[in-house]
A and B are shown apart, each in its own frame.
Chain A
Amino acid sequence: SQTIHQWPATLVQPVGSPLSLECTVEGTSNPNLYWYRQAAGRGLQLLFYSVGIGQISSEVPQNLSASRPQDRQFILSSKKLLLSDSGFYLCAWSVPPLRDEQFFGPGTRLTVL
Chain B
Amino acid sequence: SQKIEQNSEALNIQEGKTATLTCNYTNYSPAYLQWYRQDPGRGPVFLLLIRENEKEKRKERLKVTFDTTLKQSLFHITASQPADSATYLCALPPTDSWGKLQFGAGTQVVVTP
Query: Of A13-21, A63-71, A72-80, A94-102, which stretch is located at the interface?
Result: A94-102
Cβ-defined contact, A100 with B49, below 8 A? yes
Task: Give the A-B pair count, Cβ closer than 8 A.
Answer: 46
Residues of A within 8 A of B32 (CB): 100
By a CB distance below 8 angstroms, the chain B residues around A90 are 43-44
Chain B residues whose C-beta falls within 8 Å of the C-beta of A107 in the assembled complex:
41-43
Which of B13-21, B52-60, B67-75, B101-109 makes up part of the contact surface?
A: B101-109
Chain B residues with CB under 8 Å of A46's CB are: 100-102
Interface SS, A side:
strand
Closest chain A residue to B35 by CB distance?
A: A101
A86-113 to B contact mask, C-beta < 8 Å, 1/0: 0010101010100011111111010000
Which of chain B's residues 51-101 have a Cβ closer than 8 Å to chain A?
89, 91, 93, 98-101
CA–CA, A107 and B40, complex, Å: 11
List residues of A whose CB falls within 8 A of some B CB.
Answer: 32, 34, 42-44, 46, 49, 51, 88, 90, 92, 94, 96, 100-107, 109
- B interface majority secondary structure: loop
- Say yes or no: A43-B104 contact (C-beta < 8 A), given A101-B49, A106-B42: yes
Instruction: Please tell me if the beta carbons of B43 and A94 are within 8 angstroms of each other in the complex.
Output: no
**Closest CB in chain B relative to A37 CB, distance in Å:** 12
* CB atoms of A44 and B99 under 8 A apart: no
Interchain CA distance A66-B37 in the complex, whole Å: 26
Does the CB pair B45–A104 fall under 8 Å? yes
In the assembly, what is the distance between CA of A13 and CA of B61, in Å?
43
